[in-house]
Amino acid sequence: MGIKVAKFGGSSLCDAEHFRKVKAIIESDPDYRYVVPSAPGKRFDADEKITDLLYQCHRQVERNQSHEETFRKIAERYTQIARELELDFDVNELMLETSDAIRRYKNPDFAASRGEYMNGVLLAKYLGWDFIDAQDVVKFDRQGIFASEWTNEIMTEALSRHERAVIPGFYGSFPNGDVHTFSRGGSDISGAIVARAAKADVYVNWTDVSGFLMADPRIVKNPRCIRELSYRELRELSYMGATVLHEDAIFPVHKAGIPTNIRNTNDPDDPGTMIVMQPSPDRHRDQIITGVAGHKNFTLLSIEKAMMNAELGFGRRVLQALEDFGVSFEHLPTGIDTMSVVIADRELVTRKDQIIQRIQQTCQPDAIELSAGIALIATVGHGMTSAPGTAARLFTALYEAGVNIRMIDQGSSELNNIVGIDVDDFETAMNAIYRAFVKD
């Protein structure tokens, strides 16, 4: 028998009906051994997430205000789930204990973590499985940095004592035992941590979509689903804006060589997307690219100086100017006498003039030009490395769509090709690139 670890997102556990779907999924495959739940998400557009309500409770407690009315909304959600599932335990006692603890601890992380904690308790009762509190097995150091090896040692030992168990996502604890949380969306990370510790064959991340799409459906109509992609491709697409899986969640399972399967709780028969170490050899026979993703709101800082390539330390001084003002860069396309730095607009809001002045002082360039309103689009895929004419196909598509290319940056691995364009051409360019490589 193999081992599968399942993580279920907030939309997959938002009410009793979805709890039933989750139980059906788990019971359909005996390889499922450990489950990581999120807090209940929205049931409908105007609904409130439990985690948001818990943060509100903390703010009220911190201001010496009553949080009881807000917590009543939270208690009603869990009580309704327990009642409809006919769970045989005192859910009211759990609610009272949690409300009192939020008031006593006055800790925002503790308050926020209770969504996953209470959902984990309910799910464990419903499945008839053991419950392991993440506070005991997920560890952060004193600075709040996740302690991966310490956690893996503790988690591995704990899991060995439980044939099947529910471990809440999103939180762990400092060395002194105080609760600390990951960033929002951190249950994805928790699931990957459990998968690594369990030495799972597969980490299955259940959500409300059937895997990754080849492009943003808000921009490209009916994009295809990506059935298989590598962790490297996922990293590139996530960095450029594709958001299905929390970006940091790839590292624990990637390190352990465990594939990740993105599945849809509401369509469990759909195979979803499989994220693997290396794509299968025949994957790109019909599909050269894996996906297209992009971001808006960048500035292109262009520096020109004759004989720049012969001036020792020129590039270092440019980047030092950015570092001195706490600014990071995205890309660094260069020429013999030119150097361009792509920077997110938000990084330059208050520091643009100081950076330009510092570069002028330390580099004495012939010219400096700032071009705002740039969008970046990355075309990603292992298949691009072995397919002649991929770049020509991409640039022809943009030319025929009337899109002017402001910048080109191709990674040394040839895994991606990034173009910088005017932000007004973003949607047009995304569609043009997608349609150039995907034939419906």
> What is the per-residue pLDDT for 25?
98
> What is the per-residue pLDDT for 234?
87
Angle between helices 50-62 and 91-105 (to 10 degrees): 40
- Which residues are registered as beta bridge partners of 378? 293, 418
> What is the per-residue pLDDT for 248?
72
Distant-in-sequence, close-in-space partners of 412: CB < 8 Å, separation ≥ 6: none
Distances in Å between the Cα of 7 and the Cα atoms of 43, 119, 155, 397 are: 19, 13, 16, 40
Angle between helices 68-84 and 16-27 (to 10 degrees): 50
Within the chain, which residues score under 70 in pLDDT? 1, 184, 242-244, 246-247, 283-286, 385, 411-413
Burial class (CB in 10 A: 0-12, 13-18, 19+), 117: buried
Cβ–Cβ under 8 Å, residues 190 and 36? yes
DSSP 400-438: HTTPPEEEEEE-TT-SEEEEEEEGGGHHHHHHHHHHHH-
Task: Give pTM, 2 decimals.
Answer: 0.88
Can you tell me the distance from the alpha carbon of 111 to that of 118, in angstroms, rounded to the nearest whole number? 11
Can you tell me the distance from the alpha carbon of 287 to that of 280, in angstroms, rounded to the nearest whole number? 12
Give start and end residues of each alpha helix (H) in 199-260: 231-239, 250-256
> What is the per-residue pLDDT for 52?
96
Give me the domains of the chain, ranges plus CATH numbers.
4-208 (3.40.1160.10), 291-437 (3.30.2130.10)
- Which residues are registered as beta bridge partners of 299? 343
Which H or E element spans position 346? helix 345-348
> What is the per-residue pLDDT for 287?
76
Angle between helices 68-84 and 91-105 (to 10 degrees): 150
> What is the per-residue pLDDT for 333?
86
> What is the per-residue pLDDT for 40?
97
Can you tell me the distance from the alpha carbon of 274 to that of 268, in angstroms, rounded to the nearest whole number? 14
> What is the per-residue pLDDT for 357?
95
What burial letters (b/e) apply to 230-251, b meaning 16+ CB within 10 Å?
A: bbbbbbbbbebebebbbbbbbb
> What is the per-residue pLDDT for 420?
94
